[in-house]
Amino acid sequence: MKFYPKRISYDLDLHHLHTSSHVDQAILKEEERVVVIRFGQDGDTTCIHTYQVLASVAEKLKNFVVIYLTDINKLAAFNVMYELYDALTLMYFYRNKHIMVDFGTGNNNKIDWVLNDKQEFIDIVETVCSGAKKGWGLAISPKDYSIKYRYKY
């Protein structure tokens, strides 16, 4: 079966993976670049906002990152495997290996919050790429996100 990811019908240009085999092939076939997959719900506002951030930096990062989108409602097979319970999840892969990132939140497997800043995403991706090319399975985030979830009294 040939791998032809379809383009999502938003304003900008990112690939949308519609089947489990397309997701597997996207992760397996890429040898030089980091694969970023946004698992989410296509109609969710947080996913749309994150999509805009991803699409706005995709051209700048195209030499070392490829970005794909999936809808978790259509690809239920990955929901259990990757613990996809949130409306938005970003995960990183390099040479068929899941690259974890320590954000200081306790969840090193994925980003499950909205990215509001293009430069913030670029910094994270640069850290992931650097760690992945050195053979590290866990990269340390350039910013500590543990304070994001603290409650103010």
CATH code of the domain in which 115 resides = 3.40.30.10
Helix and strand numbers (H, E) in the chain are 4, 7
- pLDDT per residue as tens digits for the range 72-94: 888 888 888 888 888 899 999 99
23-39 as b/e: b if 16+ CB within 10 A: bebbbeebeebbbbbbb
For residues 148 and 113, is the Cβ–Cβ distance under 8 A? yes
The answer to whether the beta carbons of residues 88 and 112 sit under 8 Å apart is yes
Assigned domain for 22 exists: yes
Residue 140: Cβ within 10 Å count: 13
Using the predicted structure, report yes or no on whether residue 2 has a pLDDT greater than 60. Answer: no
Judge whether 59 lies within some domain: yes
91 falls within a domain: yes
This prediction's pTM: 0.84
Over residues 43-67, the mean pLDDT reads 92
Average pLDDT of the segment spanning 23-31: 93
pLDDT band at 134 (very low <50, low <70, confident <90, very high): very high
CA 148 vs. chain centroid, Å, equals: 19
- Residue 1 resides in a domain: no
Domain-embedded: residue 50: yes
> What one-letter code names the amino acid at 74?
K
Residue 107 confidence (pLDDT):
80
- Count of the separate structural domains present in the chain: 1
What is the domain extent for residue 93?
6-149
Domain membership flag for residue 140: yes
Please check whether residue 33 lies inside any domain of the structure. Answer: yes
